[in-house]
Each structure stands twice: as structure tokens, then as C-alpha cells.
Structure 1
Amino acid sequence: MEKDGVRMKQPKRFLDIVTEIRNMTHKQNIRPGEWLPSERELAETLQVGRSTIREALRSLELLGLIETRQGEGTFLSDFRDHTLVEVLATFVLQDEQSHEDVRKTRLIHELAALGDVCSNNALTGLPVWKGLRAKLEAVEPLQRETVVRELLIVSGNRLSLKIWLLLCQYSGQPFTGNVNETERAILLDLLAAIAAGRQKEAEVSYIKWHELIEGGDNHDYS
């Protein structure tokens, strides 16, 4: 990304931060049941804002990897029985077909989340969709990953979210970068369909966006 001819440092993405927090627990030998560093310490160490750290921790808690106890702090959960990472590492990414299978499986989870949201009036009316729409209409920077991650989180399926996060890591982080001009109109149509609960229209827009970023250049042109 450039601004006034100066190369700007890309902001850290959600998955990058989650990975760094995980690496920190290994490096500092933090064991299940032990405290994690505070939000302030994590923000200083990872050089990101506290709101970004808070968002990452919220998703880690949804996945069951950490636990927040009122008045006590945040603890690392006992996730030694979570073998999904090892299973994926063993059986995927062995050839090109495996990569394609990962991409298709990830899309299945994304479309399932979209269907769950569109079929629930309480979910289609959430402020998050208006917030995303406002960013797009104001031509503010919006990370691709934010759109999809909110969809998965709002759908409420924790297992699907967990699998999706792992599949993203194994498929080359497909949502890197910010939404560009070509994508903006597609996403506005997608958000309008979600708000109206029109699942078929939402799916058409989502697949169109998916094919655009998966099949073309994935860089941030904003």
C-alpha cells in the first residue's frame, strides 16, 4: 500500500495476530490453566491496537482456546485434544487436488454460514452489516477477511468457525488485503441481500466475489 508516494506498512491481519498469540504461548511456555499476558502487554508486544487484540481474543474464546474469567483475567484452555490441526497437516496439501479440495471445503462453510444468517431475521438485522456497508459506501479501508470472519462468527457455529480458520491457513490466506473498487459493488449487493434475508441473491453475490478474489490478483490496490 502507498500513500503520497511512500510505501506504507500493511496492518496486521486477524489470522496473523492469532498466530502470533499462539506462538507467544509456546515461546513463553504458557500451559493450560495459566494466565495470558494482559491486553496492554499483548498490544505492546505485537505492536497493534488494544481493540485489535480484544477482537482476536474474542474469537479465540469462541473457539474454546482461551477462557476469560470475570475479575481474574484470561487463561489458556486445555486444547490438547484438539487434533484437527494434525489431521489436516497429515492429509491435505499433498497435491494440487488437495489444495482445490481445501478451497471447496472452505467455501462450503462460508455458504453454510451465509444461509444460516439469511434465514434468521435476528441475524440479518444485526448492526454489523450496517457497519460494513457504511465502510464500503464511505470508501474506507476494509479487510476482506473481516467480511467473511463476521459472517462465520454471526452464524454461531463454533466448530465451523474453527475449521474455517484452519482451512484458511492451509489455503494460502485467500482473504489477504483490503477490498478494492471492483469488489466493493459486489459486496454492497451481498450486504443488501443479507439485510433483506434473500439467501439466493446473497449466494450469487458471494460466489461472484469468491471467484474474483480466488481467481485473480489478491493484492490491496486501495
Structure 2
Amino acid sequence: MEEVPPVPSPQPEEPSEESLAFGRWLFAQDCQFIMAAADLNQLPLADLPEIAFAGRSNVGKSSLVNALTGRSTLARASNTPGRTQQLIFFDLGTQLRLVDLPGYGYAKAGKSAIRQWTRLTRAFLKGRASLMRVCLLVDARHGIKDSDREVMKELDDAAVSYQIILTKADKTKASEQAALLEATAKEARGHVAAHPEIMLTSAQENWGIDRLRASLSSFAQGAPRNDGPTT
């Protein structure tokens, strides 16, 4: 059974057992690396719903993708910020596509390379019809930074739905977590494209992973639909 962080308040809406089960099933399916795109002309066809993972360099995007899929090396984690310089695409059970975006805020690379992948990422976020949601990862130890706010404004302007996912929550004090969630939710309310639910996660301790799987799996091509009672 998945462990939960000590202070889960404010509590997101509890997912149903059906959505939790479907999320576990979906993220246990074969997850295949498709490509690493360095140019918009290299992108795969927009023929599957897509979930993108964005965040500051070294925020834990690769670790979270690995935790969601139950694989330790699917997305390579690195202690060096800015290692991912391309859009990394994974096919999940031919029903959902996961996209690991380059980190922003800091990178050990030349300025021209930084500009190139920054333009690529922003163009992708603004023009991808199959992009259902962006998971905007924020380090729970530091909260929302100015570079996050810049991305949030761009997503607002482009009308791209995004949800703030607080990562590395196991490295924060339990007594601080409720205040962190409240402060993050308060700031998110000022952004038109931000999802109101804030999720507290730890890839290392498996906090919030089942809940996030359930949420993201609702966008999958074969997700169960609740169309109301039949007569």
C-alpha cells in the first residue's frame, strides 16, 4: 500500500478505487522510449494524448517519471542540472504519451544551446494540440521560484492546462508541509490555466504516486469514462 506524507492537507479530491486501479494498470504497461527531439520537425505525430513534465533543472522530473512507471532507468536521472536538452517522448501502452521536457532556470551548457532548447520547449507547449496537461514540478524545499512564475505566465497566456506537483517532499519537515501546500495553492489561484489541485510527492518514498497515476491516466485514450447513469 502506498505511503502518504505526514501532512496531506489541503487534501485533493480522493480518487475512486476504479481510477486508482486503472492508473496502476496503465502505468504498469509497456513504456517505450520513442525519440529525443531537438527540433519541432522531429516531433512524433500528435496521435495520442500527451502529458508533459516541466520544471527547473534538477527538480526531479526523470525521477518522477521513473516512479510513475515503476522503472528505475526509464528516464535517466542526473545530479547535473540541465542534462536533458531535448524533448524526450515515451509511449505508455499505446494509450498515453509522456514527455520529459528540458529543465529551465539553470544549465551547464553554452548560451546558444540553452536558447535553442528553450525556444523548442516553449514552441512545443504553445502549439501541441495533443498536449492534455503539463505537470509543473516544483521542489518542495524551495517552493515556487521566479523562473517557475515565468513559465506559469507563459502557460496562462497560451491557455495550456498545468498542475503544480511538489517534488522531494520527503526532504521537508512534516510541520512545514501544510503551510507549503496552502501557499502554493494560493499562488496557483492567481493563474487562469493552473489546476487547483496541488500534489505533494516523493519519488524516493513513493508519496502521492498512486494519486498522480490516477489523475494522469484519466487522459489516456482507453480511460474509463463516467457518463452518468444509464436508463
TM-score by length of 2: 0.26
Q: Which has the larger radius of gyration?
A: 1
TM-score by length of 1: 0.26
More helix by share: 1
More strand by share: 2
